[in-house]
Chains A and B, each alone.
Chain A
Amino acid sequence: MSAHSHDDVRKHLKLYIGVFLALLVGTAITVYAWTWHFESVAVTVAVALFIACIKAFLVAGYFMHLMSERKTIYAILLTTVFFFAGLMYLIVWSRDEMPRGTYWHDHGPASAVKSIQ
Chain B
Amino acid sequence: MEIPYTVEPRPDTGLFNAKVGIWLFLASEVMLFGALFSSYILLRVGATAWPHGLLNVPIGTFNTAVLITSSITMVLAWANMKMGNPSRSRVYLGITVLCGFAFLGVKSKEYYDKYVHYEVRLVDGRVLDGHIKASPDFKINKFKAESGKITIEAENDLKANPGESMADAKERLLSAKQRYQHHHEEVEVEASQIRWISNYMPWHSPYFAIYFTLTGLHALHVIGGMIVLSYFWFQNRTMGRTQTERYTNRLEVGGLFWHFVDLVWIFLFPVLYLL
Contact = CB atoms under 8 A, between A and B. Distances in A.
Nearest to B268: A52
Contacts, number: 130
B3 interface: no
B68 A27 contact: yes
Nearest to A71: B14
Contact of B42 (A10, A20, A94): A94
Contacts of A79: 27
B72 A91 contact: no
Contacts of B30: 80, 84
Interface residues of A, number: 54
Contacts of A48: 270-271, 274-275
Interface in B57-94: 57, 61, 64-65, 68-69, 71-72, 74-76, 79, 82-84
Interface residues on B, range: 35 or more
B46 interface: yes
A113 interface: no
A10 B83 contact: yes
Contact of B71 (A63, A72, A104): A63
27 contacts: A6-B84, A9-B82, A12-B79, A16-B72, A16-B76, A17-B72, A27-B64, A34-B270, A44-B275, A45-B275, A49-B267, A51-B270, A56-B263, A56-B266, A59-B71, A59-B263, A60-B259, A63-B74, A64-B259, A70-B15, A73-B15, A73-B20, A80-B31, A91-B38, A98-B46, A99-B46, A105-B45
Q: What 9 pairs across the A-B complex have the smallest Cβ distances?
A: A20-B72, A48-B270, A80-B27, A9-B82, A102-B46, A72-B13, A34-B274, A23-B68, A70-B14
